[in-house]
Every structure is written in C-alpha cells, then in structure tokens.
Structure 1
C-alpha cells in the first residue's frame, strides 16, 4: 500500500485498494482486463486469505485518515467512502469469523473461480495462449491452497454442508472427465495430441482444463490451423493435464477426507451466521423476520396475478399446469446455436427500443454478447461484465445441460434480467463511468443485492413498459418473480428454522427444513427437479445471497417512488434511470437514501 498522505482522499484510497487487490487476486485482474494478471492465480491458502484481510484492515485505517481531510465532504468522495467502508467492514466480518475456511458450494468457491476465469481470458494471439499456459501451470498450487484452507476450517469447526460437499464432488468429477479418473496420465496423451500424433486410448476422456488447452490446436492469432507453435501447444497440453490431475486430487480429498468429516453436520447455518452473510450480500443489517414476512406478502400477491395469466393460457388451470402446458405446446426455440442467436437478437432489440426513450446509452455500453455456458456449473444463467477498456464486452451465459429445446416463456424476462436492461446496462454503465466514479466503485465494489435488485427491477420495468403483453411471456415473468419471492421465504426460513405462517397453503404451523423448502420450491416453480435441486444447494451454501433479488428490487422501487413523489409531474424516468445507474454501487439502505434524492 502507498504511504499515507495528508492530501489523499477517499476515492484515491479506494483505487489504491483495487491496485493492491489485483496483485493478490489476479482473477479480479482478469475480469478487469489487466494483461499482467492473465498468467497468475490467487493464493487461496490461509496465508493468502490473511494477506487479503491485512489489506482490508490497512485500507480502513487509510480511509479513516482520508475522511478527515479537506475535500472529503465532496459528494463523490462521500459516496465512495460510504461504499468502501461498508464493503470492507462486511468482508472483515466474514473473514474474522473463519467463514472463508468452509467455502464449499455448487456455485461459489475458489475452484469455481479458477475454472470460470479461463472462460474470460483472451485467446486470440500466441501471447494470449502463453499466458493461458502459465495460468494452467498455476492451477495445482491454487487448488492446494484452497484445500489447506478447508483443512484449517475442519480443525476450527467451520465445515461446509454435506449436501454442498456431495454436489461439489460431483462437479469436480465432471470437470475431471467421465468417471473422474486421471485419464490424461502424466501428459503423454495430451502431448501426442498437441504434436499431431496419436493420442492413444487414454485421450478418449479428457478433463475440462485439457479440453480448454486443446483449443489452441486450431485457434491462433490469425485464425488458421496451427497458428500456435507446436512447442507452445505441447506446453499447453501438459499444463492442462496437470490442472486436470489437480482437480482429480481435490476431488479425491473432498470425497475421502472432507465428506466424511462433515457427514451429519447441518446444511443450514443458523441465525448468527446467516445475519453475517446477509450483511455481506445485502450491504445492510436486515431485520430478517420482517424480510421473511415481506417474502410471504409478495408470494400471495404474485400468486393472484399468476392465476389470472394462467387462465388466459389454459382456462381453469393453475399456474404450474399452464406452464407445463407451455413446455409442450408453447413457443420455443430448437437448437443450441439457434437459442444463442435468438437471445442475441432479443438483447439487440431491447437496446434499440430503450435507448433514447428510457435510457441514454453510449456505443460501448450498447454492445453485449450471448454465449453458451461451459458444462459442469450450476443450472442458472449468469452474466460477466466487460473489461475496463471494453475490448471484452459484457456477456450473458446460458447453461444448456444437454437441452436442445428451449421454451420462450422461460427465457425472455431472464434475459431482460441478465442482459438488457438488467445486469449489462448497470454494470457496463459503471465501467463506462469509472473516470467520474472511482475504479473501485466501477469494478470490485459491488453489492450483490444492489445488482440483483436492479436486474429484477429491470424485469418489472419491461412489464410496466408493455414488453410482456403476450400471456406466455408474462406468465414466465411472473414465474421468475415467484421464484425470487420463494427464495426469500425458504432461504431465511430454513436457515433460521422459522415457522410457516398460518395463512400459508403449504404446511402451516410447521418449521422449515431443507427438505420442506425443496418441496415448497418445486411446487411453486416451472423448473425441472434438477434445476430446483441445484438452486436449493446454492441457497444452503450461499446463505443470505438469494434474498437480495427481491429485497434489492424493493429498494429500487422505493427509491423511484420517493423521487417521483418529490418531483411530481416533473419526474423524468429516463433522467432518473441514468442518474441512478451512474452513481455506482451501494448497500440497500444507502441505495434508497441516495436514489430518492435524484
């Protein structure tokens, strides 16, 4: 960290933090498009985690000093300081409670971060592939550090849940290749393949990293076969095989050591740990009982709307009968390539319709790509933001998991959420505004409930603007909204073991368990059982994150209502949207206060 200076203000402290963070966490650097980060991976060991905590503590000390300086009361400085203090304090609460020593999930763990980081690395030139090879060589040490942290967690009584552990072992097995065996061996098969010779029978099964490395066989800086030199392709194949062996080793340890150690432990975390995580993901100290009640109020409201739309589609049917009917007889897209192209058109059309009417978008924010997600992850779609210089655009990712038929009702509002006007418009606008915000606000200072809340608000906005007049699309939107309301109910309910209220149509008076939560969620979702299974594992292993969608949407709606009430007939929704999107992230209470004044 730089020496403290009397002239340093909060935004400089925040940006110094980003520079130091990138040194410790090259994956963050990769997402920002920092070229020097491409060949490295973070230290996920206890020592690496402590280094991050030390950086956080040092930054908070510098922020204390910066806030005492003349000029710190400037609006931009004040807002940045408010975010930085809240985020770093929440991070320390998690670290100091040893929560990072039990990071086992089907979606959020160091192993997931390592794998997904390769999907955003540039691979257009020989230099790019040289960096890929270096990062592949770093995979074994990164995963070993992660294992060390999990081992320390076991010693200190911080354990991942049995359900998440079992799911994670299955994912590692898939990443390693069919059967999870070390099929590439010591690199002979990969080397032979890279050399153009026979790979032998062992090459029939290849792990995820070796498969990724093999793309260099045909992709190069000029797009022609063999553009990557043979020596580098051999290096990539060997490094990919070593990374796959590291996945096998982690899988075996998780299966043979970690899983037995956590067997019988609860999958839920209890009120105290849940409160800590809800602060981390929502940026505020929530009243969890009031939040639980809000989830139920939204459930009842949405159920009435869903029944109305279902009757328009299939008279006399309940909402989930109507949705099942749409699965078979509704509008749909056939083919993976076709659905990728269709989603791209949907986002392009939304940009054309919204730009200049409800938003003012610069050209580089208008660019967003539709992608198919790599196999082996969670079942839900997701978004990755643009690099800082926009050379890598924002991208939406659709997991297909063997599907080739895609009902339209299940896609439209989801892509308004993931793409436009949801995640992409918000996160790309922050990146565009980095020079007027701070690098920290534009990149790493995100609050999950703020971003997920905006994306859910974006779905509702498209409904308000008349983009969902078709009953199929509107029932799909309401189904997605119901899923988010159910998340609030079951996420808080099962972790805190709350009572199901008397006016519930489902098991009134009983107390939530994960099994009851899954039954309830499945009854109120059009998604297949495998999706619901994945979602429930996600909620159990990421307590407090799933509630931020609905609670964040509520914050955005309240801020808009307050601003509209203050301005009356002079309220300009387009101006408000752009001002709100351009102020950067904040925790939920701070968000309502700030956007109400716009």
Structure 2
C-alpha cells in the first residue's frame, strides 16, 4: 500500500439554491459528490458522521416537509444523471479504469436514489419507528460522534442540543401525518421505544441522570451553563415525545400489524440489499443453511461437552464458560483482541494503511438495541473507527460469542472495509463510500470476515468456534424468520417445528430460542429489530453468499495465480455495490 500521509478528503462544497452543487458535474462521480454535499445540507447528522460539514450544529428537518425536500433533491439528481448519460458518448474502451469507475458510480447512484424514492413515495418515512436505526436514535447518536476536545467543541454540542426539541417536533409531525394517512408503525416498535426513552431519561437503572445531562457533565466549566440548559431542554423534549408515544400514538396503532406484508417488504429489501431478490429462493436457501450449520454446531458442541447436545452446551457456555468480569475489563480485552487481529493480518492477508490501525472499543450508551455496532471514521480520519458494546446492565461477559462478533464489527470486518473506503474516497467518489452504502454489501463482508478468520485458523478453540457457528446460525435464522414473518410463509415439512403453519412473531421467537445460544433478552431485542427493519437482517447471509461466490469465481479465473491478499485489497477498494452487481464485480478482481 502506498504511503497515505498525503491523503486528504475532497473539499466540501456549499449547495446552491436548487439543492445541487456548483461544481463540475460532467461525470457521474462529480454529480454523486454534488449530491452528497447537498444531502449533507439537508441532513447534518449524516454530514457529521462522514465529516463533510465540520462544526455544523444543526439537526435535520424530520417533518413531512423535510422528508419531501430530500426526495426533491433525489429526483433532481436522477434527472441530471439521465441527462448526463444521454449527452455523454459511450467510452471507446470499456476496459478503461476511469470509464469503469464512472459506470459503477452511475449505476450505484441511480439504484440507491430510485430505491430511496420508492420507500419515500410509499410513505414509509411517516412511520419510521423502531428500536434501532430510527431518526430518533440518530438524533442521540450524533452526539457520540462530535468532538469534545475544547470548550469550542462543547459550544457546538450545546448549540446542537438546543435543536433537539425542534427536531423531535418534526419527527412527531411525521408520525402524526402517518396516523392521518393510515400508515401506522408496529405496536411492538412503539412499546420498545417508549421503554428505551425511559432509559434515556434515567428512569430505569443508572444514577437517575438523563443521558444528555450525563453527557454534558463531562464537559469543561465553560460553557457549563449553556450545556446544562441545553441538556435540560433536550431531555424535556424526549420526555414529551415519550409521553405522546405512550399516551396518544400507542393507543392509535394498537390494532396495527407488526409485520409489513409482501409489498412493503419488497421495497425495504431493495433498499437494504440493492437487489430485486427472489424471496422464495432466499427463504429456501436459508433453510438449507440452517440444516448445514445445525449439523456442524452439533459436532462442535460435542468437543465442548461430549454427549450433552447443542442447546445444553450453549447454556453451559452462557453460564459457566470462559468470561470477563467487569465493564472496564471487557472493554480492554476487546480492544486487545482488535489490535492483535490487526497485527496478525496486516502484511499477510491485507495491506493496512496507518489510519486503519486506529480503532476504539467503547461502551454503548444505555437505551440501545442489544447488538454491538460500528461507527466508521469521517472522511478526514479526525476520529477513529469505533466499535460499541451494549452491556445491557451486565457485569459478566462470556467470550465464546464475543470473539467472532468483534471480528465482524472490527477487524477484519466493518472497520477494514469502511475505513478502507474512506482511504480511497478520492479515487472513487465520496458518495460511494458514505451515503451510497448498501447494507447487504457491508454486512455481507463482515460475515465473510468471520468465516475468513475461521478459515485462517483463528477460531480453533472449541468455545470460540462454537460461538462463530452460533453467529452463522443467527444469520441463517434471520433469512428464514425475516422473510417468513413479514410474508407469513408456511413452515416447511422436515423442519421439525409447527410444520405447515404460517410464521408469526410468536412462532419466530419460539424457534429463535430453540436454535440460537444468545440470551433471551437479546433475542427479544433482535425480534423487535427485524419487525422494525424489514429486509435488513437478510442482507448478512445473502451478502456473505455474494462475497463467497465472487471470490470463488475469481479464484477459478486466476487459477494458481490467485492472490487472496491482493483480491481482498482490490475488493475492499471498490466502494459500495448492491448485490445485483457485487458478485460480478468481485469475480473480475
């Protein structure tokens, strides 16, 4: 890998009055970056995440009008892309690297904006409520990404907190409009979010402080008064929204289904995977993977507790397996695990530039979903990649399932891919490595990364390998249950479970408990997540399948000359791709 000390992000541009940018838009990549800058003006949370508008203290307009402004930008960008492609002669040499880069970016931009508009036009933004990834969660999470090194940084934090009440008012207006248009969120989502907001407000657990006050209490004496006042107003706005959700919204949606049905599911599956999926094929393949992994887990469980069987062995690992005691200790242990993986992989299976060596393990704030998650560095690498562990109030942390999870979230998983995208942003476009991200591409790589670590011999310990297989089982179950619940599909013969009946959330939770070794509260959180993010959970396993197929095709094409390390770096430097394109692009690497 070339020296990266000279790497600099492209400058951010100010959008003009019609929501597009006054930069050279003669290529799809330039148009995509113009879109990113204009989008960052409308969604300052995204701008903070990607570092395109440092110091911006605003929050997005989450009202119906704000959502329509984003949609108008997307429509205008699609129109300009069509004009650009109509007026541009085809490349004389299809193998030209620049032409290929422009073609790939144009296809991604068109697909992403078209998918987003389909979701918007169906009114889905008027019922976006869930325990993970909702606009509500984005409002709080952005504060964990903001710099807090100087009093000036804290002044920006205070300024943004003052915008929380207005942002939540806009969000409430969208949910109310959804009710008026008979577009309700699912009752389970509402109940879960109401409970989460109680945690944010310090009403359950902790020291009684709300989350915003606890955050600013770590700030400097100046501007303490501004910070305290802003935190108080933010917490009061959260309390008002919680009360409205509990007292007004929840009764109004009490009879609504928790599942979305086939039409809505197809919209969201396209959004999360970048593909028009054959859902029947995916559902059947999910069952094939389930049976394959179950057999492998049985054999591995026998190495841990001979003759006990898989369920008893998983229970043993949860209660009596190797564990780390204490939150500070588990955070330090996971940080070392990540650093050890970097040292072992760099120069052997990957070529990691210096910025990719910076990654932090942090404890997630209370009131989040149960699953660990990753936040990528901004375009200027001013903040490292960060992996967050929700502790769920625990003090003892079995490591059997944490190791594979940390490979997924950190190295060689999310961190290597997303930080590498940031590194090569100038060779692609900033759009391709930020808001153009396709979830199934990213989650597929991270699941492939878990498998890679098993292939490379990092999971020979039977406890840790059973944890890896349990994680694989979780992702296979997601394909079955996510598609099965939302489409109310029949449970097939040979499953040994309510054969011939149609999936319901209650049956899904029962099946989960039988075949996944995670704790009950984690599984409860997972089920609510799938109901609130239809089509997202299937992207892990289907994305991994595309990565594995692409690797195998590349291996066959190159024969003995195939270089896994070179293939990894080329694949990780390609930017975002939907599953419709990913396998073919990987095969050509």
Q: Classify the TM-score, shorter chain.
A: over 0.9
- SS state at 1:215 partner: coil
CA deviation vs aligned residue, 1:120-173 (integer Å, no higher than 9, x gap): 111010110010001000000000000000000011111100011111111112
1:426 aligns with 2:424: no
8 Å Cα contact 1:22-1:37 kept in structure 2: no
- SS state at 1:178 partner: coil
- SS state at 2:324 partner: strand
Q: Which residue number in structure 1 is paired with residue 3 of structure 2?
A: none
Range moving further from structure 2, 46-55 or 67-76:
67-76
Range moving further from structure 2, 377-386 or 32-41:
32-41
- SS state at 2:388 partner: strand
Q: Which residue number in structure 1 is paired with residue 556 of structure 2?
A: 565
**Cα distance in 2 between the residues matched to 1:512 and 1:568:** 44
8 Å Cα contact 1:359-1:577 kept in structure 2: yes
Q: Which residue number in structure 1 is paired with residue 478 of structure 2?
A: 487
Shift of 1:33: 2.2
**Cα distance in 1 between the residues matched to 2:500 and 2:238:** 45
The 1:392/1:71 distance shift into structure 2, 3 A limit, reads farther
**Cα distance in 2 between the residues matched to 1:262 and 1:326:** 40
1:500 aligns with 2:501: no
8 Å Cα contact 1:382-1:396 kept in structure 2: yes
Alignment of 1:502-517 (within 5 A): 502-517=493-508
Alignment of 1:85-96 (within 5 A): 85-96=110-121
Structure 1 vs Structure 2 CA RMSD:
1.6
1:535 aligns with 2:526: yes
CA deviation vs aligned residue, 1:502-524 (integer Å, no higher than 9, x gap): 01021111110000001101111
1:60 aligns with 2:81: no
Alignment of 1:373-384 (within 5 A): 373-384=364-375
The 1:324/1:114 distance shift into structure 2, 3 A limit, reads same
**Cα distance in 2 between the residues matched to 1:4 and 1:164:** 42
1:264 aligns with 2:255: yes
Pick the aligned partner of 2:42 from 24, 46, 53: 24
Q: Which residue number in structure 2 is paired with residue 207 of structure 1?
A: 210
The 1:72/1:421 distance shift into structure 2, 3 A limit, reads farther
Q: Which residue number in structure 1 is paired with residue 155 of structure 2?
A: 130
8 Å Cα contact 2:417-2:572 kept in structure 1: yes
Shift of 1:326: 1.7
8 Å Cα contact 1:72-1:78 kept in structure 2: no
The 1:71/1:345 distance shift into structure 2, 3 A limit, reads farther
- SS state at 1:320 partner: helix
Q: Which residue number in structure 2 is paired with residue 200 of structure 1?
A: none
Pick the aligned partner of 1:356 from 347, 356, 361: 347
Q: Which residue number in structure 1 is paired with residue 68 of structure 2?
A: 50
1:457 aligns with 2:448: yes
Pick the aligned partner of 1:80 from 95, 105, 119: 105
Range moving further from structure 2, 103-112 or 241-250:
103-112
CA deviation vs aligned residue, 1:76-108 (integer Å, no higher than 9, x gap): 111111111110000000000000100110112
Q: Which residue number in structure 1 is paired with residue 460 of structure 2?
A: 469
8 Å Cα contact 2:440-2:578 kept in structure 1: yes
CA deviation vs aligned residue, 1:194-245 (integer Å, no higher than 9, x gap): xxxxxxxxx97331112212211xxx4xxxxx4xx2xx21111011000000
Give the count of matched residue pairs: 564
**Cα distance in 2 between the residues matched to 1:285 and 1:415:** 31
Alignment of 1:194-593 (within 5 A): 205-216=208-219, 220=220, 226=221, 229=222, 232-593=223-584
Structure 1: gaps spanning 5 or more residues: 181-202, 221-225
Shift of 1:6: 9.0
1:140 aligns with 2:140: no
**Cα distance in 2 between the residues matched to 1:71 and 1:443:** 28
8 Å Cα contact 1:66-1:72 kept in structure 2: no
CA deviation vs aligned residue, 1:280-317 (integer Å, no higher than 9, x gap): 00001101111100110000000010000000110112
8 Å Cα contact 1:27-1:37 kept in structure 2: no
Shift of 1:72: 6.7
**Cα distance in 2 between the residues matched to 1:318 and 1:437:** 50
8 Å Cα contact 1:29-1:37 kept in structure 2: no
The 1:431/1:127 distance shift into structure 2, 3 A limit, reads same
Q: Which residue number in structure 2 is paired with residue 197 of structure 1?
A: none
**Cα distance in 2 between the residues matched to 1:11 and 1:430:** 15
8 Å Cα contact 2:338-2:410 kept in structure 1: yes
- SS state at 1:67 partner: helix
Shift of 1:69: 4.4
Range moving further from structure 2, 237-246 or 34-43:
34-43
**Cα distance in 2 between the residues matched to 1:179 and 1:351:** 38
8 Å Cα contact 2:44-2:53 kept in structure 1: no
CA deviation vs aligned residue, 1:477-499 (integer Å, no higher than 9, x gap): 00010000001101000110000
- SS state at 2:182 partner: coil
Q: Which residue number in structure 2 is paired with residue 99 of structure 1?
A: 124
8 Å Cα contact 2:21-2:35 kept in structure 1: no
Shift of 1:3: 7.1
**Cα distance in 2 between the residues matched to 1:331 and 1:503:** 35
CA deviation vs aligned residue, 1:449-470 (integer Å, no higher than 9, x gap): 0000000000000001111111
- SS state at 1:395 partner: strand
The 1:204/1:420 distance shift into structure 2, 3 A limit, reads closer
Q: Which residue number in structure 2 is paired with residue 193 of structure 1?
A: none
The 1:492/1:2 distance shift into structure 2, 3 A limit, reads closer
1:115 aligns with 2:133: no
Shift of 1:177: 2.4
The 1:132/1:4 distance shift into structure 2, 3 A limit, reads closer
CA deviation vs aligned residue, 1:357-393 (integer Å, no higher than 9, x gap): 1111100012111111111110000000001111100
**Cα distance in 2 between the residues matched to 1:434 and 1:71:** 26
Q: Give the structure-1-normalised TM-score.
A: 0.92
